[in-house]
A = this chain, B = another copy of it.
Amino acid sequence: MSPPRTALLGYALLGLLHMKPSSGYDIRKIFAMTPMGSFSDSPGAIYPALRRLEGDGLIRGKIENGSSLRRRKVFHLTAAGTTAFKQWLNRSVTHENVVRNLDELMLRFSFMEQVTSETAIVRFLKAVQRELEAYIPSLREHLDAHKTVLPRSGRLALESGVRSYETLLEWSKYAITSYEKEVKQS
């Protein structure tokens, strides 16, 4: 009875189908032509994933063969799918997320506007900011502590990681002000 865990690709599909009911082929084109999260556009990934989601009752597909059109199976979210999608979006932001699942965090964020209130988005961003502000100094410490034993390229690689987290922190501040400005205006 425990709900089957959905993989990241599954949530990406839920998000896209929430925006707009689509066929597997539509999704493939999105993954192939936009910078969307480096998901694979291979049919061997997408069609089985759609089938799983349908099996879990989160989406439903309808064959659209109106008159002369090609046979397309267009999927849309069910009520259960919408619920699962929103629950995913509303999960709290953990340290783990920031350390190992940044891609998932960004995917969640990119879909948020469709569903959640602006205050919830700002809450999400502030949680990200908080986690980054806790994590970055510990990375710097690690770098300093191992400065002497690491080869230069190792040090630089770490430095690159730290910088990218710092950039993300700056971005999160920028995104927060961007939303708070909006709230004031309305």
- A interface, CB within 8 angstroms of B: 34-35, 38, 99-100, 106-107, 109-114, 121, 139, 142, 146, 151-154, 156-161, 163-164, 166-168, 170-171, 175, 178-179, 182
- Whether A35 contacts B106 by the Cβ 8 Å rule is no
Give the copy number: 2
- Whether A171 contacts B163 by the Cβ 8 Å rule is yes
- Whether B160 contacts A106 by the Cβ 8 Å rule is yes
Q: List 12 A-B contacts (CB under 8 A).
A: A38-B99, A106-B157, A106-B161, A109-B156, A110-B153, A110-B158, A114-B151, A121-B153, A156-B171, A156-B175, A163-B167, A163-B170
CB neighbours of A112 from chain B (8 A) = 153
CB neighbours of A146 from chain B (8 A) = 34
A114 to B155, CA, bound (A): 13
- Whether A113 contacts B35 by the Cβ 8 Å rule is no
Instruction: Report the minimum CB–CB distance from A121 to chain B (whole Å).
Output: 7
CB neighbours of A154 from chain B (8 A) = 110-111, 113
